[in-house]
């Protein structure tokens, strides 16, 4: 399954232009405590199935984790449910912190 990737640089540029992005951070609470992208919604990966209704499913959905692995799994899971517009932030917060 091919999951569309989005670069952290693109997200940063779009946020700086004032765009409102639909971003879901699937990291664990102790990871999120170290910092999140402003505007992201925190739903730990294991809670995605029971919290799907909290995710706005119109247009683009950007999934975020530490390195890009868990968020890609989340994209795969949601794609199988028929959810459209999913993108995985390549490199995760490790890449974001280098910007």
Which residue carries 């795969």 as its tokens? 76
Which residue carries 């999934």 as its tokens? 63
Whole-angstrom Cα distance, residue 10 to residue 37? Answer: 13
The pLDDT score that the predictor gives to residue 19 is: 97
pLDDT tens for each residue of 37-92: 999 999 999 999 999 999 999 999 999 999 999 999 999 999 999 999 999 999 99
For the chain, give every domain's residue range. 5-96
CATH class of 5-96: alpha beta
- Region 3-14: mean pLDDT is 98
The pLDDT score that the predictor gives to residue 1 is: 79
Please give the positions annotated as active site: 65
The pLDDT score that the predictor gives to residue 69 is: 98
């Amino acid at each position: 399954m091919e999951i569309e990737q989005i670069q952290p640089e693109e997200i940063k540029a779009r946020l700086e232009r004032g765009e409102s992005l639909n971003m879901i951070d699937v990291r664990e609470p102790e990871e999120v405590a170290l910092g999140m992208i402003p505007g992201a919604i925190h739903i730990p990966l294991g809670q995605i199935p029971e919290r799907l209704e909290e995710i706005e499913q119109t247009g683009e959905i950007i999934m975020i984790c530490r390195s890009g692995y868990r968020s890609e799994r989340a994209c795969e899971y949601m794609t199988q449910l028929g959810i459209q517009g999913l993108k995985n932030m390549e490199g995760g917060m490790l890449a974001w912190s280098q910007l």
